Structure 1
Amino acid sequence: MDNLQEILTDNNFFDFEIVTSVNDNADLPDAWRKIISANNLSDKKAIVNTYWSPFADKLAKTLSLINHHLEDVVVIKESGEYRMVYLINIDDFVSVYVGHLPTTEGPFLDEMPEDIAAYYKTVHNGWYEKISGGLGFLPLQDIEWLSDQEWGILEDIPAPDFDLDKVFYIFHNAGTGYLCINVTNPDNPEYLIFWSDKAPKLDIGFWSFLDSWIEIGLTN
């Protein structure tokens, strides 16, 4: 993209450089190295599809939107940290998503169900819309227990039948909704939507809600 530098600056990237070659000593996954070396969008889409392929069934809507509307994907180095940046153009509006390097350690990773933790370990430690900081997986360092915040809504709804100390959110919709994991029973985690303006929605399907909310974020 001719105006890539401008778009990144407008989306609150600071002190960054677009990586066009990589030192062999840089600790990057193969897919990231391939993105850096790719010469055209078709190749980049193929790399992204392969990279995300273990989650193709769980995030079918998200991957379809990426495949059909990805305008570019690049690796940048921002304040010394590598990031993968996705530019998704729908109806002439470019949404900029940023993915951190995958990680095998960090807060909350051991609390997550195996299939969710696998995303953080193999794809991105957080993949989200840059301006809002939401609408996708939160980085491990930004995840919080519900009890870590004050929720005025608790004064207006019946007392939840779960312990806020055992529920953490992994996604927010840049508004009032938080997609949460209840680990009261670690062997049988439950999923819920915690709202800041109404009663929670319990017993939801994690991946279907995540996929649908990402789709809404990208298309609205």
Structure 2
Amino acid sequence: MTAATEVRDEMGVPEAWVELLRQQSAGAKSWLEMWRPYQSLLPEVDDFLQHKVRGICLLLKEPQPPSLLYVYSRGKDLYFFRGWPPLGDRVPKGKEEIWACLLPGLQQFYRELHDGWTQLASDAMGPLPVKDIGYLSDQDWELEPDEKAQLPFRLRDVITVFGNGGGDLLGLDITHGVRASESQALAWWHEEPLAPMLNKNFWGLMGAWIGGQVEDVDLAP
């Protein structure tokens, strides 16, 4: 759905999204203003939104909440990033402990922009919805006790907020405090679990991963 006039109250579409569709109908790249607070944090994503996104539309698929699709292309094929409605003041039940550990800027992303923004086909390559965030220890990595002891962190002290769809994860190390800092991001390689990339800037690492995924997509007409 691309027309604001087609939206009905019972669909549960955020009013801010309806306004984005109205502005898009008038020729504006309406989504850019919504992302402006993250322009300097995620320059690769900003470049994608400015130059490669062809437009936005709504996806309505019960029983899921509505989502906002960002349309881009590679050759003759169309692809989509999907953004879920922002959380506002709500925190998903059972995720209160994880929420308290997230970066303030990431909390703002979830509260004001999208509760998850990932590729539609894979549900990956972007920040996961809060309900899907967990700990590295939630998965069985088939590591022996002596191998776990070699790691500079405990698996239960890493929050996983981003996956590449192939088993590699971007996480936040909360070993040294209740809340992670921006410089405590790490990349976890599923094929080389004993060689994680440590002490990286969270926004820089996330932007690089997303940017690499959309580097060769088409420029918007």
| Identity value in percent | 23
Q: Which runs of 5+ in 1 are unaligned?
A: 5-16
Equivalent residue, structure 2, for 1:7: none
Partner of 1:197: 191
Q: CA deviation at 1:19?
A: 6.8
C-alpha distance 153-177 of structure 1, shift in aligned 2 (>3 A): farther
Q: 2:162: which partner in 1?
A: 171
Change (3 A) 1:158 1:64: same
Q: Distance in 1 between matches of 2:83 and 2:166?
A: 21
**Larger strand proportion of the pair:** 1
Tell me which residue corresponds to 2:53. 70
Greater RCO (Cα-Cα under 8 Å, separation 6 or more): 2
Q: How many residues align?
A: 203
Pairing of 1:1-220 with structure 2 (within 5 A) = 20-23=5-8, 28-40=13-25, 42-43=27-28, 45=29, 47-80=30-63, 81-103=65-87, 104=89, 105-106=91-92, 107=95, 108-152=98-142, 159-184=150-175, 185-189=177-181, 190-198=184-192, 199-219=195-215
Q: Let me know the Cα RMSD of the aligned residues.
A: 2.6
Residue 181 and residue 39 in structure 1: after superposition, are their counterparts in 2 closer, same or farther (change >3 A)? closer
Instruction: Pick closer, same or farther for the CA change 1:41–1:142 going to 2, 3 Å.
Output: farther
Q: Which residue is equivalent to 1:12?
A: none
Q: Could you tell me how far apart the structure 2 residues matched to 1:86 and 1:195 are?
A: 28
- The alpha carbon displacement at 1:135 in A equals 0.5
Residue identity matched to 1:135: M
Deviation at 1:159, TM superposition (A): 1.8
* TM-score, reference length from structure 1: 0.81
Alpha-carbon deviation of 1:218? 1.6
Shift of 1:180: 0.2
Structure 2: state its 5+ residue gaps.
217-221
TM-score, length-scaled by structure 2: 0.81
